[in-house]
Amino acid sequence: MNEPIQKAASLPITITGMTKVYGKAYALDHIDLSVRSGEFLTLLGPSGSGKTTLLMTIAGFTRPDSGSLKFGETEVICTPPHKREVGMVFQSYALFPHMTVAGNIAFPLSLRRLPRDEIAQRVERALETVQLGGYGERGIAQLSGGQRQRVALARAIVFEPRILLMDEPLSALDKKLREHMQIELRHLHDKLGMTTVYVTHDQREALTMSDRIAVINQGRLMQLGEPKALYERPANRFVADFIGDSTFLPVENSGSQARCHGRLLDLPTDTAIRANSYLMLRPEKLQLLAGEAQAGMNMFMGTIQSIVYQGDSVLTQIALADGQLINMRSATQSDALTPAVGSAITLGLAREDTVLVSDE
Ligand code: ADP
Ligand code: MG
């Protein structure tokens, strides 16, 4: 029978000085980015930040104004898209509605003029790989959203590209199916091993799927790192704000010390205290303290404004003395342990979770 597609040799991608200007606006502003061989790298950023433009320049559909693009050691900036041997899944799937599933998947192979029986074999293999074995003769209109997404994926991998590009491929699916497909796409990547550049504006999706994430804003690379590093040690306020939920409190700095809400902050030793720094407060890093000072713990006084039960956790909103609202997320616990709305409480933030960020 047909074996699913096996692991192929992958290629690193090296992007240097990639720039694209539309009118006067920089869609890409001197992007330097290296994607490791076999890596799953995600471009994450808000709408209009340049993610699609960058992906399209890698695929060859958009011509940058300047910059270099290498697949392995080979400069490909002047290579037309069909010669780059890159598999691509578009946001809209871009399937041919009048063709069968098999016809759609065969398309890139027909373009490459492969013999008929080899095409049939490869199509069936690609269908097995995306778990749609036996669906070849169906019409596209007969498929669900998730199945169409798999057909688009099968078409992208059917010629066994060494680089796979995906532009928000799950954005049209509902939450449950999307989460299921995130895991499935990641498994497929691990099985096939092709260098993958994935685009999303959904930070949770990026954190779930990626080896590394490149955060993009206004055509510029804001930070490149592993999910945990981005979440725990964001390089600047934009990244801290875009990934996870945070409240930012202004910090006054005096020499090597930083104060927040009148109190001296106990900071990890490697903290750089810059001008215009903010303290990043993540809801799940805050905890209720009994009141007395504790070593290695920064304290904040406040009053509970609201408590919202959210099933898997409890979200408590707290007002600090100056009225600044902050959120604390804690595990669902018995009501007896939760102070009531209106209670004065002390919040603690451990020294190692005390992170300062600045605008640049
Ligand atoms: P994203 O995929 O992150 O949402 P895009 O790469 O599509 O962002 O767009 C980046 C910026 O470039 C946006 O400001 C967008 O309006 C602009 N842009 C993209 N494509 C074109 C185009 N063909 N003509 C003019 N402006 C464009
Ligand atoms: Mg886009």
Band (pLDDT 50/70/90 cuts) for residue 336 is: low
If asked whether residues 258 and 301 sit together in one domain, one would say yes
Looking at 38-52, 291-305, 325-339, which range is the least confident one?
325-339
Test site for ligand 1: of 22, 55, 198, most ligand atoms within 8 A of the Cβ: 22
Predicted local distance difference test score (pLDDT) of residue 217: 97
Q: Whose CA is nearest to atom 12 of ligand 1?
A: 27
Is position 7 within any domain?
no
The Cα 180–Cα 184 span in angstroms is 6
Atom of ligand 1 nearest to the CA of 49: 3
Predicted local distance difference test score (pLDDT) of residue 326: 95
If asked whether residues 100 and 174 sit together in one domain, one would say yes
Q: Model's pTM, two decimal places?
A: 0.90
Band (pLDDT 50/70/90 cuts) for residue 27 is: very high
If asked whether residues 319 and 210 sit together in one domain, one would say no
Q: Is the CB of 302 under 6 A from ligand 1?
A: no
Q: How many CA atoms lie within 13 A of 291 on its CB side?
A: 3
**Which positions ≥6 away from 41 have C-beta within 8 Å?**
35, 195, 196, 197, 198, 210, 211, 212, 213, 214
If asked whether residues 161 and 23 sit together in one domain, one would say yes
The Cα 206–Cα 156 span in angstroms is 21
Predicted local distance difference test score (pLDDT) of residue 3: 64
Is position 6 within any domain?
no
- For the purposes of burial, counting CB atoms within 10 Å of the CB of 301, is it exposed (0-12), middle (13-18) or buried (19 or more)? middle
Domain count, the chain: 2
If asked whether residues 44 and 163 sit together in one domain, one would say yes
* Alpha carbon 101 to its chain's center: 29
What angle, rounded to 10 degrees, do the helices at 116-129 and 101-111 form? Answer: 130
Band (pLDDT 50/70/90 cuts) for residue 62 is: very high
The Cα 95–Cα 40 span in angstroms is 24
Q: DSSP code of 114?
A: -
Q: Is the CB of 48 under 6 A from ligand 1?
A: yes
If asked whether residues 231 and 253 sit together in one domain, one would say no
If asked whether residues 17 and 144 sit together in one domain, one would say yes
Band (pLDDT 50/70/90 cuts) for residue 10 is: confident
If asked whether residues 255 and 326 sit together in one domain, one would say yes
The Cα 32–Cα 264 span in angstroms is 38
Structure confidence by residue, pLDDT tens digits, 193-220: 999 999 999 999 999 999 999 999 999 9
Is position 8 within any domain?
no
> What's the first-to-final CA gap in the chain, in angstroms?
57
The Cα 346–Cα 6 span in angstroms is 56
- Report the pLDDT averaged over residues 310-334: 89
The dihedral sign for the CA sequence 231, 237, 243, 245:
positive
The Cα 213–Cα 225 span in angstroms is 6
Q: DSSP code of 244?
A: S
User: Strand 40-44 to strand 195-200: parallel, antiparallel, or no bridges (unpaired)?
Assistant: parallel
- Report the pLDDT averaged over residues 52-78: 97
Tell me, what CATH number does 158's domain have? 3.40.50.300
Predicted local distance difference test score (pLDDT) of residue 312: 86
Residue 306 has pLDDT above 80, yes or no: yes
Is position 90 within any domain?
yes
If asked whether residues 45 and 166 sit together in one domain, one would say yes
If asked whether residues 59 and 107 sit together in one domain, one would say yes
The domain in which residue 316 lies consists of 246-358
Counting ligands in written order, the one closest to the CA of 48 is: 1
Is position 2 within any domain?
no
Q: At which of 201, 221, 238 does a domain end?
A: 238
Q: Is the CB of 244 under 6 A from ligand 1?
A: no
Compute the distance from residue 222 Cα to the ligand 1 centre, in Å: 18
- Report the pLDDT averaged over residues 321-329: 93
If asked whether residues 201 and 57 sit together in one domain, one would say yes
**What are the tokens at 244?**
């996870």
**What are the tokens at 304?**
């509970």
Is position 64 within any domain?
yes
Run of H or E residues at 316: strand 313-320
Is position 313 within any domain?
yes
Is position 1 within any domain?
no
The average confidence (pLDDT) of the chain is 91
